[in-house]
Structure 1
Amino acid sequence: MAEFRRAYGAAPWHLLLLLGCFAVTGWIALRLAGEPTAGRMLLWFVGAAIAHDLVLFPAYASVDRALRVTWRRGASPSLLNHLRVPALGVGLLFLVYLPGVLGLGDGTYAAATGMAPRARFGQWLAVSAGLFAASALLYVARRLSRRTR
């Protein structure tokens, strides 16, 4: 077992899990092979991966590094984490629901659902405010519980 771990670099269950993931991916690829829009799906997937790796990741990593550098000047790291988590949630919601938030893709939405599209920017803002408010309440509760101990 130790020799396998040294040769492979991880536990045997890791290899089994990885093979299972490849099997599921292969099954999905076979299911999509006959799909007429498979090329478009692949293009969107590759484009999203490239956009994330070359644009989004450097952008939010730079913002996070700048925040950490500024935060070292005395504020608690816990507060920074209570800002990071809702910001991540808000950003992901924005990316996933971008057309709906900005009111784009009217024809596509109407064709797919049969309903008239409407901009959901206000709802996105409300969810964003809720996430930050919940994080702030949790931060205050944690600080108060530390004081009572």
Structure 2
Amino acid sequence: MGEFRRAYGAAPWHLLLLLGCFAVTGWIALRLAGEPTAGRMLLWFVGAAVAHDLVLFPAYASVDRALRGVLGRGGPPSALNHVRVPALGAGLLLLVYLPGVLGLGDGTYARATGLSPGAMVGRWLAVSAVLFAGSALLYVARRLSRRPR
């Protein structure tokens, strides 16, 4: 067992898990190969990867660097992580619901759900505010619990 770990670089369960992931990915690729929209899906996936690497990553890395400059590395608990986590949640929600938040595809959303998409901006802002408020409360609670008595 020790020799396998030295040769492979990880435990045997890691190799089994990785082979399982490759099997599932291959099965999905075979299922999508027969789809008439497979080319569009592949184009969207490649476009999303390129947009992330060339636009989004430099943008949020710059914002993170600016936050580190303003907040400092901080001691426990780090204020920086209490800004990063809700920002990540709000950003992911924005990406998932971006067409609705921007008011695009109103007819499609209304036909599919029977609801008006007009409230999506307010709901996204409310959820983002709750995420940041919860993180701020957690930060304050952690700071107060670590205060010397």
Q: Would you call these one fold, judging by a TM-score over 0.5? A: yes
Amino acid at match of 1:66: A
Does the 8 Å CA contact 2:90/2:128 hold for their aligned counterparts? yes
CA distance in 2, matches of 1:24, 1:98: 29
Does the 8 Å CA contact 1:71/1:77 hold for their aligned counterparts? no
Per the alignment, residue 62 of structure 2 pairs with 62
Per the alignment, residue 127 of structure 1 pairs with 127
Q: Does 1:118 align with 2:117?
A: yes
When the two chains are superposed, the root-mean-square deviation of aligned CA atoms in Å is: 2.3
Per the alignment, residue 17 of structure 2 pairs with 17
Per the alignment, residue 95 of structure 1 pairs with 95
Shift of 1:25: 0.5
The gaps in structure 1 that reach 5 residues or longer are none
Shift of 1:125: 0.5
Shift of 1:5: 2.5
CA distance in 1, matches of 2:37, 2:116: 24
CA distance in 1, matches of 2:83, 2:54: 24
Provide the identity percentage.
Answer: 82
Shift of 1:83: 0.9
CA distance in 2, matches of 1:89, 1:73: 21
Deviations 1:82-107 (A, max 9, x none): 11110110011001110011111234
Per the alignment, residue 81 of structure 2 pairs with 81
CA distance in 2, matches of 1:52, 1:15: 29
Does the 8 Å CA contact 1:103/1:117 hold for their aligned counterparts? no
**Over 4 Å off, 4+ runs:** 73-77
TM-score, length basis structure 2: 0.86
CA distance in 2, matches of 1:73, 1:45: 35
Shift of 1:31: 1.4
- Which has the larger displacement, 33-42 or 63-72? 63-72
Per the alignment, residue 142 of structure 2 pairs with 142
Does the 8 Å CA contact 2:106/2:116 hold for their aligned counterparts? yes
Shift of 1:148: 6.5
Q: Does 1:46 align with 2:46?
A: yes
Shift of 1:147: 2.5
Shift of 1:76: 6.8
Q: Does 1:3 align with 2:32?
A: no
CA distance in 1, matches of 2:110, 2:42: 24
- Which has the larger displacement, 127-136 or 138-147? 138-147
